[in-house]
Structure 1
Amino acid sequence: MGTAGAVALALAEGVGALPETARGASAAQFVSRRPAPADRRFTSPAVEAEIARVTKKIGDPELAWLFANCYPNTLDTTVEVGMRGGRPDTFVLTGDIPAMWLRDSSAQVWGYLPLAKSDAALQRLYRGLIGRHARSVLIDPYANAFARDPGAKSPLFWTAQDQTVMKPGVAERKWEIDSLCHVVRLARGYWHVTGDTTPFDAEWHRAAQLIVATLRAEQRKDGTSPYRFQRSSPNPYDTVMLGGMGAPTRKIGLIHSMFRPSDDACVFPFLISANLFAVRALRWLAELAGKVLNDAALAQDALALAKEVETALAEFGRIGKDDDAVWAYEVDGFGNTLFMDDANAPSLSSLAYLDCVPRYDPLFRRTEDRCWSAANPYFFSNGGHSGIGGPHEGLDMIWPMSLMIRALSTDMPSVAAGCIAQLKTSHAGTGFMHEAFEAGNPTHYTRPWFAWANGLFGELVINLARRMPRVLAAPSPLRPG
């Protein structure tokens, strides 16, 4: 997602400045904000058809305009498809930062997966990205972001003095469990939709083995780890205490994560949402290992690790007991816990969306309710806007992603409509979603070009067109508040 340095780079021309062309926009002025066809980096016939199909179901002109701008944004502006070593190769920028995050790149293209079976262009894109992910993991399974050139130094100036082992091709080396989990999610998702086994070659097989080995190593049962990270920064969430090893833990079978999906450092190294995601990802990986790679030993290893982490989560990952229990956000195994939620996925609120827990699981629903309340210090409500942010952008800054996850996770049309209404007011005339906006003042926002948020918004609209068509058919959604 980027760091304080990323924000400085991305917003050098002014945070959230409302473009002159967007001021006072009315329904008659909803002109496409997409690049001209000749300037688009990638075109998918299936995606263009999907935009036309879904747009017809939307009764609000502004909402239809937002969807048509946002849904193809990753393809229009961030995808680079080519060949490397005789194989497809796809590099996906996060948007305004010149590097590829494993998590973001996986999530940015997730919304196109249902269309891949019938679109050869999309299949080439996914084959190339799955291959690029495998090669990136083999460079360094602890890195969260990678350079376009696998032999180059990091293009991110704020990593220049990081105290860690920076290999060629690595853009940033913040150890986050979810980086590896998102790699597995996309690979399994592509195979599940298309049945295509082409990407799962010997290189991907080695990467899968390394993913399991790395997650197991980061249980740190003997108290050691090959990973260290420190950074000189005024932001305490950009560095790791105790020589780069993180806060002390009792070794209970959970996997240590030094950073959250926001790229902010953990307070306690057992990040519960990421461990739950790891359990799901390991089972997806076991499925691929058994059915595609024909590696029964790898499948068994992944399943055994998943079961071990799942057992530890049940014992140590909760706050409260029985019908009052909720998932903690972070724990240390000594009995210390932290409850909060961060908008980035995996978050506690996103557990059902990511298929980490059953959608109607009472434990998840209690946890979600608590996340969307004053019990979460990063739940903000002001001026008709209510949502979740995180330390990354500070107090009162709501991440649109939290509203999207909320709407994707609910079965209540009124909740979904309220989220859509807030999202509609958050774009500040730009026609796109942002990283964060100030509650009650959406003209103050961060990252005008943030492809993951745009893609997730498109995914949400398509989801609601299927599950709650009346929410989209209304001339104007319910207002926030």
Structure 2
Amino acid sequence: MVVVAEDELPSCPDYSSHAYMNHTPPSPGRYQLSYQRPEPACRKFILPEVEETIHAMARAIRDPDLFRLFENCFPNTLDTAITWKGVAADHPDEELTFITTGDINAMWLRDSANQLQSYRSLLRPNTSSSSLASLFRGAINLQARYILAAPFCNAFHAPPEAAANLSASSFSFSSGQADYVTPPPDPSVVFECKYELDSLAAFLQLSHDYFSATSDAAFFARGSAATHRSSSTWVRAVHAILNLTTTMQQGTYSPDGTVLPSPYLFQRSTSSASETLPNSGAGSPVAPQTGLVRSAFRPSDDACTYQLLIPANMMLAHALLNSASIASSLALPDLAARMRSLSTSIQQGIEKYGRTHHRKYGRIYAYEVDGFGSANVMDDANIPSLLSAPLLSGSGFVERDDPIYQNTRRFVLSRDNPYYMFGPVINGTGGPHVGPGMAWPMSLIVRIMTSDDDDEIYASLKQILASTNGLGLIHESVSTHDAAIWTRQWFSWANGLFGQMMLDLRERKPHLLRRSYQ
């Protein structure tokens, strides 16, 4: 199916407004959840395999409210966030897919990779431009273009090719911030330039997701500038990632105590400390030769307290190891070896610097460290998180039953975690992005996906169902004491993650889908 421009759709409502309201028919259960899918003519991209999956899940899920939440959430990215799909102006064989986060009209590397990962289990080899495989190829190509243009940046404008197909209101937008960034990005390309290590890992994750499902090595050898597989767009983007991350392994000081110039600086005029970096934009000091890679910002877009962000390093290490198989398939042994070497360096750094001793839980992973001995002991709901470590980049950085992960998990899901929010409505991890008292349903979804305990999964599902305020979509965060207080009515990644979790339960715990949650 070809994506239709918003201004050409037949009287289609703006989904930002649509998602705020209740729509009929309500689900016939206790929560009477609103039906939130757009009319078929207003859906951005329709895939038969997704519609078939929804029909199949209607037979697998007994509870009417639980099914309505799946029915609304699983197709949400396809229904609402595939904002443009086309081809490169100078290379008609180069597919492009522009995916917005939902209520923010920009493409985040991290969000778009995870939005598509929701459909990973349905991905099959397919050369058609109307296929799921085409969506993946288009997103990989566009992300590679973005990384080559601005490797430190996290969020981007629609490509110029999309201008003629998008209405002015959906194409002309700005982050609305006065940012001072070194190196300075091109504002016509970049929406926001917060350097987040997990954004680069997300590109590798997306690439591996596609390759592992399709074995389509030829795709990675193509590109608008490619004359040989070693100079393809994808390969050049990987080299850019390796060059940047290797540079960001450096510490703050040289051996003689001289302060080294920071490769990246970010300052924003703001009243929020989490929106800018200290030390004139360089961030907090980092020890040298840890093997870990610095990150200025977390996946929440909040500034790191200490720049060696352990979940992001976990994700990058595993994504490098997985996607090195693509380089091997292209007969690029030197590139594959470099990717594996960096992965090993990061893993060794995590083992040496990324763990700390907790007085109650024993040996656990820290959320952030600086390499000097300081550790930030917490977790944040956004993925990658410590809680999500077994899920990162497919098979996971650690096994679920790993003793240190289990210690960490018990800590994260306890009141000893300063960002664990609890109350009568919902209990889960939050973060400084929204603040205390607001739990993120995303954290409960991850809790379910990392649990084998039926009672824990059942209780978490009940809380998620009770947290939508009747709207039938996954919010960014919800007050632990009042379900009517929440942030972001339209958050495509969280919606897709819920659908992904439900498909996972169908495989692992089908009996839980046959239970009542009334």
Give yes or no for TM over 0.5: yes
- Which of 473, 494, 503 matches 1:432? 473
Residues 317 and 343 in structure 2, CA contact (< 8 A), matched pair in contact too: yes
Cα distance in 1 for residues equivalent to 2:324 and 2:27? 51
State the Cα distance separating 1:285 from its structure 2 match: 2.6
Structure 1: distance between partners of 2:240 and 2:302: 24
Amino acid at match of 1:239: T
Letter in 1 for 2:108: W
The 8 Å contact of residues 118 and 497 in structure 2, kept in 1 or not, is answered as: yes
Distance 2:262 2:172 in 1: 23
The answer to whether residue 458 in structure 2 is matched with residue 417 in structure 1 is yes
Q: 1:17 to 1:189 in 2, by over 3 A?
A: closer
Distance 2:26 2:75 in 1: 25
Where 2:497 maps in the other structure, the secondary structure is helix
Other-structure match for 2:107 = 100
* Cα distance between partner residues in 2 of 1:204 and 1:278: 17
Q: Which residue of 2 aligns with 1:207?
A: 237
Residue 321 (structure 1) shift? 8.6
Letter in 2 for 1:97: I
Measured after TM superposition, the shift of residue 308 of structure 1 is 1.4
For the 8 Å contact 1:359–1:409, the answer to whether it is kept is: yes
Corresponding residue to 2:317 among 267, 279, 283: 279
**2:98 matches 1:91:** yes
Which of 354, 365, 369 is the equivalent residue of 1:317? Answer: 354
C-alpha displacement of 1:419: 1.1
Please list, as runs of the form range in 1=range in 2, the aligned pairs for 1:298-309 lying within 5 A after superposition: 298-309=335-346
Q: By how many angstroms is 1:24 displaced?
A: 9.0
- Contact residue 71 and residue 459 of structure 1 kept, 8 A: yes
Q: Name which of structure 1's ranges 157-166 and 101-110 shifts more when overlaid on structure 2.
A: 157-166
> Quick one: structure 1 residues 11 and 458, their matched pair in 2 at CA, closer, same or farther if it must change by over 3 Å?
closer
The residue identity in structure 1 corresponding to 2:237 is A
Is the 8 Å Cα contact of residues 17 and 443 (structure 1) preserved in structure 2?
no
The answer as to whether partners of 2:367 and 2:376 remain within 8 angstroms in 1 is yes
Q: CA deviation at 1:314?
A: 1.1
Aligned counterpart, 1:294: 331
CA gap 1:134/1:24 in 2 versus in 1, 3 angstroms:
closer
Whether the aligned pair in 2 keeps the contact of 1:154 and 1:171 (CA below 8 Å) is no
2:151 is aligned, of 141, 144, 147, to 141
Aligned twin of 1:19? 21
Equivalent of 1:39 in 29, 37, 42: 42
| 1:71-90 equivalence runs, <5 A | 71-79=74-82, 80-84=84-88, 85-86=91-92, 87-90=94-97
**4+ aligned runs moved over 6 Å, structure 1:** 10-13, 22-25, 151-154
Q: Structure 2: which amino acid aligns with 1:149? A: P
User: Structure 1: how far apart are the matches of 2:326 and 2:140?
Assistant: 13
Give the letter aligned to residue 428 of structure 2: G
Query: Which residue is 2:8 aligned to?
Result: none
**Equivalent of 1:395 in 436, 457, 479:** 436
Counterpart position of 2:134: 124
> Given the alignment, which residue of 166, 184, 200 partners 2:185?
166
SS of aligned partner of 1:82: strand
Letter matched to residue 452 of structure 1:
W
Do the aligned partners of residues 384 and 375 (structure 1) sit closer, same or farther apart at CA in structure 2, a change above 3 Å counting?
same
Distance 1:155 1:30 in 2: 32
- 1:382 CA displacement: 0.6
- Structure-1 separation of matches of 2:344 and 2:122: 33
Deviation, 1:118, is 6.3
Contact 2:268–2:275 under 8 Å retained in 1: yes
RMSD: 2.5
What is the DSSP-based 3-state SS (H/G/I as helix, E as strand, rest coil) of the residue aligned with 1:403?
helix
Q: CA deviation at 1:220?
A: 1.6
**2-structure distance, mates of 1:114, 1:11:** 27
Residue pair 1:176, 1:259 contacting (<8 A) in 2 also: yes
Name the residue aligned to 2:121.
114
Once the two structures are overlaid, the 10-residue window that deviates more, 388-397 or 78-87, is 78-87
Conserved? CA contact 1:149–1:169, under 8 Å: yes
Shift of 1:294: 1.6
Give, in whole Å, the separation in 2 of the partners of 1:11 and 1:195.
Answer: 36
**What code does the residue aligned with 1:216 have?**
T
How big is each residue's C-alpha offset from its partner over 1:249-297, in whole Å with a ceiling of 9 and x where there is no partner?
Answer: 1112211100000000000111111111111111123221112x22111
The secondary structure found in structure 2 opposite 1:76 is helix
Aligned-residue sequence identity (percent) comes to 38
Q: Amino acid of the residue matched to residue 156 of structure 1?
A: S
CA distance in 1, matches of 2:218, 2:468: 40
Aligned letter for 1:377? P
AA paired with 1:146? F
Report the equivalent of 2:202: 182
Query: Where does residue 458 of structure 1 map in the other structure?
Result: 499
Query: Which residue number in structure 2 is paired with residue 217 of structure 1?
Result: 247
1:39–1:12 Cα change, 3 Å = closer
**Which residue of structure 2 aligns with residue 475 of structure 1?**
516
Task: Tell me the alpha carbon deviations over residues 295-329 of structure 1, each in whole angstroms, 9 at most, x when there is no partner.
Answer: 11111111111111211211111112999210001
Matching residue within 485, 490, 504 for 1:444: 485
Q: Give the Å deviation of 1:359.
A: 2.0
- Relative to 1, partners in 2 of residues 1:300 and 1:403: Cα closer, same or farther, differing over 3 Å? same
Q: Select which of 66, 81, 92 maps to 1:63.
A: 66
In the alignment, the residues of structure 1 paired with residue 33 and residue 357 of structure 2 have an alpha-carbon distance, to the nearest angstrom, of 50
| Distance 1:466-1:240 versus aligned 2 partners, 3 A rule | same
163-172 vs 35-44, which deviates more? Answer: 163-172
- Give secondary structure in 2 for the equivalent of 1:333: coil
Q: Does 1:336 align with 2:374?
A: yes
In structure 1, how many angstroms separate the alpha carbons of the residues matched to 2:150 and 2:107? 14
Instruction: Provide Cα deviations, 1:68-93, integer angstroms capped at 9, x if missing partner.
Output: 01000000000021111312110000
Q: Which region of structure 1 is more displaced relative to structure 2, 118-127 or 396-405?
A: 118-127
Deviation of residue 475 (structure 1)? 2.3
Which deviations, in whole Å up to 9, do the C-alpha atoms of 1:235-258 show, x marking residues without a partner?
100000111111011112211100
Contact (CA 8 Å) 1:145, 1:173: kept in 2 or not?
yes
Match of 1:5 in 2: none
Q: Tell me the distance in 2 between the aligned counterparts of 1:244 and 1:434.
A: 32
Over 3 Å counting, the alpha-carbon distance change for 1:150 and 1:218 in structure 2 is farther
Q: Distance in 2 between matches of 1:375 and 1:385?
A: 17
Distance 1:342 1:64 in 2: 28
Gaps of 5+ in 2: 1-13, 164-170, 223-231, 255-259
Alignment: residue pair count: 465
Answer whether contact 2:152 2:194 (CA < 8 A) is retained: yes
Contact 2:449 2:504 in 1 (8 A): yes
Q: Give the distance between the partners of 1:11 and 1:184, measured in 2 at CA.
A: 30
2-structure distance, mates of 1:256, 1:22: 48
**Offset at 1:198?**
4.1
Which residue of the partner structure matches residue 265 of structure 2? 228
Aligned equivalents of 1:138, 1:112: Cα separation in 2: 26
Between structures 1 and 2, the one with greater helix share: 1
